[in-house]
């Protein structure tokens, strides 16, 4: 069982003590940080219990593809 300020990296399963890096008031949904073990960029997506995901997985899926598509086809509009 992890405490409220600990996150488990979904990649390497390392337990990350967020209270050693951040003030307690900063630890909330949307906080982005790196796993010190595998250097994966993570984001808090849920607080009770704390769930973190890779930032690639946490954001809006397909958003990058839409922007890329618009840039490539801007002469079609």
What domains are defined for the chain?
6-76 (2.20.28.160)
CB atoms within 10 A of CB 57: 12
Q: What's the whole-model pTM score?
A: 0.68
| CB-based contact 21:33 (threshold 8 Å) | yes
Confidence band of 11 (pLDDT split at 50, 70, 90): very high
Q: What is the pLDDT of residue 48?
A: 86
CA distance 30 to 25: 13
Q: What is the mean pLDDT of residues 62-77?
A: 55
> By C-alpha distance, which of 32, 10, 6 is closest to 19?
6
Q: Is 64 helix (H, G, I), strand (E, B) or coil?
A: helix
Q: What is the pLDDT of residue 24?
A: 87
For 12-55, what is each residue's pLDDT tens digit? Answer: 999 999 998 899 889 999 999 999 999 999 999 999 889 999 99
Q: What is the pLDDT of residue 1?
A: 45
Structure-model confidence comparison of residues 57 and 40, the more confident one: 40
């Amino acid at each position: 069982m992890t405490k409220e300020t600990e996150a488990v990296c979904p990649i390497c399963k390392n337990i990350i003590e967020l209270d050693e890096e951040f003030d307690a008031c900063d630890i909330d949904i949307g906080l982005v940080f790196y796993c010190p073990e595998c250097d994966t960029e993570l984001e808090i997506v849920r607080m009770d219990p704390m769930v973190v995901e890779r930032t690639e997985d946490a954001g809006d899926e397909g958003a990058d593809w839409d922007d890329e598509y618009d840039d490539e086809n801007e002469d079609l509009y």
